[in-house]
Copies of this chain bind each other. A is one copy, B any other.
Amino acid sequence: MRVKVYITPRRGVLDPQGRAIEASLKSLGFNDVGPVRMGKYIELEVAAASPAQASAEVRRMCEQLLANTVIEDYRFEVEDA
């Protein structure tokens, strides 16, 4: 099953990359741009019996490794292909 994981900086945590991108976009003339947040996007495959099982597995991956929950939030989608 195909999984997409989105990791974003937690609200309140500084996001210097997002801020830098925002500033660059503005300097390029994209004046109508609002707050930019920069995160990570991970695509992976898991072999699982059911989407529910895959979800449980991916949640554990996120908690253990993919995200640092002190500073990051995560969410993911499992696509049953």
Contacts and interface: CB of A to CB of B under 8 A. Distances in A.
Interface of A: 6-8, 18, 21-22, 24-25, 28, 30, 32-48, 57, 60-61, 64-66
A40 B41 contact: yes
A12 to B, nearest CB: 15
A46 B32 contact: yes
Contacts of A28: 61, 64-65
B41 A21 contact: no
A51 to B, nearest CB: 14
A33 B6 contact: no
A36 B66 CA distance: 11
A41 B41 contact: yes
A10 to B, nearest CB: 13
B40 A40 contact: yes
